[in-house]
Amino acid sequence: MNFQRASGILLHPTSLPGPYGIGDIGPQAKRWVDFLAATGTRLWQILPLGPTGYGDSPYQCFSAFAGNPYIISPEVLLENGLLHRDDIIEAPNWLAQQVDFGRVIPYKLGILERSFIRFKNTFPAKIQKDFDAFQTAQAHWLLDYALFMAIKDTQQNRSWVEWPAPLRDREPKALQDFRQQYASEIERHAYFQFLFFQQWHDLRAYVHQQGIQILGDIPIFVAHDSADVWANRELFYLNEKGQPTVVAGVPPDYFSPTGQLWGNPIYRWAVHQHQNFSWWIERFRAVFSMVDIVRLDHFRGFAGYWEIPGGEETAIRGRWVSGPGAALFQQVEAALGELPIVAEDLGEITPDVVELREEFGFPGMKVMVFAFDSDENNPFLPHNFTPNCVVYTGTHDNDTSVGWYQRADEQIRDFARRYLARGGSDIAWDLIRASWGSVAVFAVAPMQDILSLDNKARMNFPSKLGGNWQWRMKSGMLTSSLSARLKEQNTLYGRYFFNEN
């Protein structure tokens, strides 16, 4: 894929400001897009958009196809007549820079429930027609997802492996009886998805109108407690009760002596290949209908992945197993055409991973906060880049650049200062400058680095339970001086994008 030189900012919609306790895809998102356009920034990078569950991680969703109902905008629902002002009860006093998921989720679901009731009572013909068309077009995943979520509601949100066996095992009569008894509950979840995709596609059209592209994200694995696994058990290594016999993770390394036990079920790749990777083709098709470019998370797992026996408490006892390799991407490319993909190729990278990435021309990733812990041969130093890569100051899994610098050993800090020819007092923008000035085709920074925020603004601590994915940008942070500063970097380093619309 021949990408054009550009810059981008990583900011998930949940991190946008707004009055409802969590960022959403309404007016504040369009103001954010206006900021990107004014600075000549071409790319808006986001995290996966799926419905989050336990732990609130966008990488552990109830579906690989559905959207997150918590980021539906109440303001847009008001504009469309799907809410009344009286339907939005007085909002709690939310924290300005943090999402309190424990309070936000029931609050937002309450608003959506009132919208559904209003929809059912008023029955607006145009919206009903659009809803019917949406359900027909998305039936291949929506029927199972809405049913899955409705059953979860009746089972106190327990994992599907803990449901009564007839529902767990999808016995036809049990599902038929449930559909009849809980038709309204099933329709409600389909309605939430209708609202999400209606708003998202409207926002994406606005993004394109401003000449901007959305860089999305596909996690390689899906959550065990998901409609995808429940409805497609033959595609995963599971026992007769639905429990994974092997799970995903990464082996012990310098950062973690016990590795990382992710717990996601492993694909039966032979079955996927026998089915001509049809599930994967639909997954890519769905994501590319929502974003323009995809960051493919844990790309090395498509060449080879760390397989851990089910029931293990750490990732120590695992083994490397070959992934689907080129066969998967050949099939997806044959179905969808050239793939605008960025390969997240961080971690333990072997020659087969590099070979797979290069065979399809996918740019890999470089991360500046990893660049200064060795010597001049470090592959993350800009003088070692090739153009076909994407450089990040840091990612959602790292500390912010300011937080990293504050905690780094003095030897690392000294190397960074000497390499960057700066004193370190403005380290986030020192790294932005070095990234933007590199030959990398894309240069991206998390919004926390654009704002020079410290460790308190970190998005995720891998392997840490709770307290993640909460950071929000305060209203008023998108100042004219910040806009001018970013525009200057884009202009100086040939990354400024002129919108011709």
First to last CA, the chain: 24
Vertex 190 angle, CA 174 and 30, to 5°: 155
Q: Are 341 and 1 in contact (CB under 8 A)?
A: yes
Give φ, ψ of 478 to 5 degrees: -85, 75
The strand pair at 442-446 and 293-296 is best described as unpaired
Q: Please tell me the distance from the alpha carbon of residue 450 to that of residue 348, in angstroms, as a whole number.
A: 29
The strand pair at 293-296 and 213-218 is best described as parallel
430 is a catalytic site residue: no
Ranges assigned E (strand) in 98-245: 213-218
Q: Please tell me the distance from the alpha carbon of residue 70 to that of residue 103, in angstroms, as a whole number.
A: 11
Q: Please tell me the distance from the alpha carbon of residue 383 to that of residue 181, in angstroms, as a whole number.
A: 64
Query: Six-digit token pair at 78?
Result: 């008001």
Among candidate residues 322, 296, 290, the one with its CA nearest the CA of residue 71: 290
Sign of torsion over alpha carbons 182, 187, 188, 193: positive
Query: Six-digit token pair at 496?
Result: 């400024």
Query: Six-digit token pair at 362?
Result: 């996918």
In angstroms, what CA-CA distances link 359 with 1, 280, 329, 339, 440? 11, 19, 10, 12, 19
The DSSP element (H or E) to which 464 belongs, if any, is none
How many CB atoms are located within 10 Å of the residue 162 CB? 12
Residues in CB range of 300: below 8 A, 6 or more apart = 345, 347, 348, 349, 350, 353
Query: Which strands, in side-by-side order, build the sheet including 304-309?
Result: 260-265, 246-250, 304-309, 319-322
- List alpha helices for 210-325, DSSP H: 227-231, 269-274, 278-288
DSSP state of 103: H
344 is a catalytic site residue: yes
Of these residues, 344, 399, 430, 449, which one is catalytic?
Answer: 344
Q: Please tell me the distance from the alpha carbon of residue 164 to that of residue 145, in angstroms, as a whole number.
A: 18
In angstroms, what CA-CA distances link 324 with 100, 301, 319, 353? 39, 9, 16, 12
Of these residues, 297, 345, 399, 449, which one is catalytic?
Answer: 297
**Residues taking part in catalysis:** 297, 344, 397
